[in-house]
A and B are shown apart, each in its own frame.
Chain A
Amino acid sequence: MWSIAGLSLFTSLRGGQHLQLDYLSTLVSNFLHDNLTLSQFTALRPFRYQISRWELDAYSYLLVEKWMEEAGLHYAYYVSHFAPPHLQMFIPPRVLVEYILTNKRFSGDVSGIIGEALYLAYIEKVLGLDTNDTLHLRPYKGLTEKSIISMADFYSISTKLLTINSIRVPPNSIIIGEAKACTTPTAADIKEKIRKSFQQIRCTSRLLSRLGSPSSLAIISLALRDCERTTYKQFVLIVEV
């Protein structure tokens, strides 16, 4: 069983508000290294939840759908090794195609799946959304069209009234989500991941707002590997778009 500590921050992109990329990446770096100042901390909401190896496996199997088995085992390797185990593609000549799908191709996929599984754990354990009402929009890399309408990772329909960081989300609302993981979270890496997430969220919301949506919420989750404490930390941005 692992304990995941996190912080969430509410931000809005409405009314032409611009993203404060530098501020956000500094905030996330400070959070990772426990250097947050009191004034920074007051804008944030802390959360904590427990997750077991089997739960990670279940999220990976049923929701992330990327054919990685033993997500919990990979998680254990990732949090306990300074340099995570390197994954090498191993395909004996007579192995069926199905084996290629059930093994991951490269290490980046593994950390991505850990990030996605933690996103799902967050929306279920902290926000109270049901992961059964969530779809992962890009189950297979490479099959989705390269387009400006590139989607965020997740698409959820809330079945009940939710209150997320003081925002009331009415039942039957659509919430879009983007999950990223940083295995070696440097300031530059964090900044790039936040920038990319916002770009995906923007593309999705631009498309969805075509007919003027009354309210729309997006969640960006950054899973940050904290190797010194053998855990992951999670930083969540709740974005009003």
Chain B
Amino acid sequence: MEAPKRFPLLMEDLRRVVLMIWAEDYASAYDLLNQLKEKYRDLFRRVAKLREELSRLEREGITKERENLLREWGERKALENYEAFREEVRRRVAEKILAESKRLEGSCTFEDVLAIPLVRYFESLEKRVSRFVEIGLSRYSPKRRKLENACLR
């Protein structure tokens, strides 16, 4: 798997956000995340679409494959081997998604698939930083180290 050329740059940018969060400079982290959203807008938009489609395939697939397997195995066997049952459903759904994804090839690229983890990472940072900014946390002076081991006994 070869990473597209702009991935290391995106990773570096995301790591800068993490450093700002560690410095408790949430306002700057928020600004930088917004800049990144603009800078990688095309990639983020395509990845969001792809994820939506994959989630839909997965949701539909799980229901369908569960029913199929339940018919094949019977309720008793499925209950007795519940873990194996779930694993088999997962396997079948993954195969379905891989087969279905050929249809997606026109609308997404390999780059989009490889970028899914990075975009998820971006989103989790964005959610957390947005929450901090919303509640006005950046108004407080950083004091976190005072309580750093308060819960260790």
A interface residue numbers (CB < 8 A to B): 61-62, 65, 69-70, 73-74, 77, 85-90, 95-99, 102-104, 132-133, 135-140, 143-145, 147-149, 151, 155, 157, 159, 170, 172-174, 199, 203-204, 206-211, 213-216
Contact = CB atoms under 8 A, between A and B. Distances in A.
Contact of A215 (B1, B24, B125, B149): B1
B137 A132 contact: no
B124 A144 contact: yes
Interface string B96-123: 0110010001000010011011101101
30 contacts: A62-B22, A69-B149, A70-B149, A85-B152, A87-B152, A98-B132, A102-B145, A102-B148, A104-B151, A132-B12, A135-B14, A135-B117, A135-B118, A135-B121, A136-B121, A138-B124, A140-B127, A148-B58, A155-B118, A172-B2, A172-B3, A173-B2, A199-B87, A206-B98, A208-B113, A209-B98, A210-B98, A211-B105, A215-B1, A216-B1
Contacts of B127: 140, 143
Interface in B13-48: 14-15, 18-19, 22, 24
A102 B144 contact: yes
Interface residues of B, number: 52
B111 to A, nearest CB: 10
B78 interface: no
Given A132-B15, A133-B8, A143 B128 contact: yes
B8 to A, nearest CB: 6
Given A90-B150, A98-B144, A208-B113, A147 B1 contact: no
B22 A61 contact: yes
B140 to A, nearest CB: 6
Contacts of B7: 157
A155 B153 CA distance: 35
B55 interface: yes
B69 interface: no
B55 A147 contact: yes
Contacts of A88: 151, 153
B70 interface: no
Given A98-B24, A103-B151, A65 B18 contact: yes
B94 interface: yes
A191 to B, nearest CB: 13
Given A172-B3, A207-B113, A144 B148 contact: no
A140 B128 contact: yes
B140 A62 contact: no
Contacts of B118: 135, 155
Residue among A133, A199, A214 with the most chain B CB within 10 A?
A133
Contacts of A133: 8, 11
Contacts of B3: 157, 172-174
Contacts of B22: 61-62
Nearest to A151: B117
A138 B125 CA distance: 10
A103 B147 contact: yes
Contacts of A136: 121
| The 5 nearest A-B residue pairs measured at CB | A213-B1, A90-B151, A211-B110, A174-B1, A102-B144
